[in-house]
Amino acid sequence: MRALFFVVPVLAGVVGFVACSGSSLSPAGGTSAQQAATDAANAYCGQVAKCEPVVLASDYGSMAACVTARTQVTLNSLAAPGTGATPETSEACTAAYPTYSCADFINDVVPPACKPQVGTGATGAACFAAGQCQSAFCQIPKAALCGTCQPALASGSSCANSNCPTGLHCAATTSTCVTYGAAGAACTENSDCGYQLDCVGADAAKGTPGTCTAEVATAGATCDHAQKTGAGCDPTANLICGRDNKCDTYDTATTGQPCGYVANDGGTTYTYCTGGSRCLTSGTASTCTGPAAAGAACNTALDNLCADPATCTGSTVDGGVSGTCQVASATSCP
């Protein structure tokens, strides 16, 4: 299934959540922007806690930290120029969360009430949120904070240097916008497969596709660490297929501590980083690093070490990458 940690959600990546937000103005007696943002954040973070507890721990560290970050995201999108959404449409999306299955949440199949609203931005207009655009799609180049309103990319379109619209993700192997594969679908890597599925049997060297196969969800059960003949373990159940080919529970670490397959546990099960830090390797040692606060320097190739809701924006410099952690807001994209 898609990677559940190592990727911090950014504004363009949570379109269903953000696009339900609205302008910072509300009618007299109506829902305030602050209330809509708080409600949306609690709904979103509650769904993460329910469906992706490892992500809640790895990206935020706590429910409170998630709510704080997501509230800011929504408040900023509420003030986005030309947005077609309102606090009331945000509340409608929030009300739809109890009907939102974990499979749909993780596969980015949003409820109708949470689909992007239609804004006033014509093709080419500056944007940072989908709800600003007449097409309900803001195309943002990689390592950029702002994009432009464009016709929504269709399945199979290139995403080599941009995001995909709601309901599609950018397949790493082909750099095309596609839906997550269902059980039995052909695949080339785990991120091609949807909720509780692994890509089994793929061989890139031979050009042989694999098949999206149900993950093992029982602690101690046999699994295939290499995913050649069988699936790995379900990370949503806090399980990983260790090097011993058994479903083990994850270990956790914080900034500055060893991570990955650490020696003190025999190197058989994986230790992931919490609180937004990421496991970076230098030589033979892997350590939890970051996250960097808004305004701090970052490396765009590391995708990314910025604390949510910031994203690493910048450009290639002398063969390397140089960026700054920035948060998209109403004044970011003139």
Residue written as token pair 């954040």: 41
Q: Quick one: what percent of the chain has pLDDT higher than 70?
A: 87
Return the ∠ at Cα 333 (arms to 108 and 42), rounded to 5°.
40
Cβ contacts of 64 within 8 Å, gap of 6 or more: none
Residues sharing a CB contact under 8 Å with residue 201, sequence separation 6 or more, in sequence order: 208, 209, 210, 211, 227, 228, 229
- Does the bond joining 291 to the residue before it have cis omega, within 30 degrees of 0? yes
**How many beta carbons lie within 10 A of that of residue 83, not counting itself?**
29
Q: Can you give the pLDDT at residue 58?
A: 94
Confidence of residue 151 (pLDDT cuts 50, 70, 90): very high
| pLDDT-derived band at 21, boundaries 50, 70, 90 | very low
Residue 235: pLDDT band (50, 70, 90) is: very high
CB of 130 closer than 8 Å to CB of 165: yes
266-286 pLDDT tens trace = 667 789 999 999 998 888 889
pTM across the whole model: 0.87
Cβ contacts of 282 within 8 Å, gap of 6 or more: none
88-129 confidence digits (pLDDT tens): 999 999 999 999 999 999 999 999 999 999 999 999 999 999
Determine the angle formed by the axes of helices 33-51 and 87-96, rounding to 10 degrees.
Answer: 20
The pLDDT value recorded for residue 203 is 93
- Cβ neighbors of 132 (< 8 A, separation 6 or more) are 80, 81, 82, 83, 84, 119, 120, 121, 125, 138, 149
